[in-house]
Structure 1
Amino acid sequence: MFSHVMVGTDDIDASRAFYDSLFATLGGKAAMVDDKGRLIYLHKGALFMVSRPIDGQPACHANGGTIGFAMDSPAQADAWHAAGLAAGGTACEDPPGVREGGFGKLYLAYLRDPSGNKLCALHRLS
Structure 2
Amino acid sequence: MISHVFLGVDDFERAFRFHAAVMAALGNVPRFRDDARPWAGWQPVGGGRPLFLIGRPFDGGPAGCGNGQMVALLAPSRAAVDAAYAAALAHGGSCEGPPGLRPEYHANYYGAYFRDPDGNKLCVCHHDAPADQ
Greater strand fraction, Structure 1 or Structure 2: 1
Normalising to structure 1: TM-score of the pair? Answer: 0.48
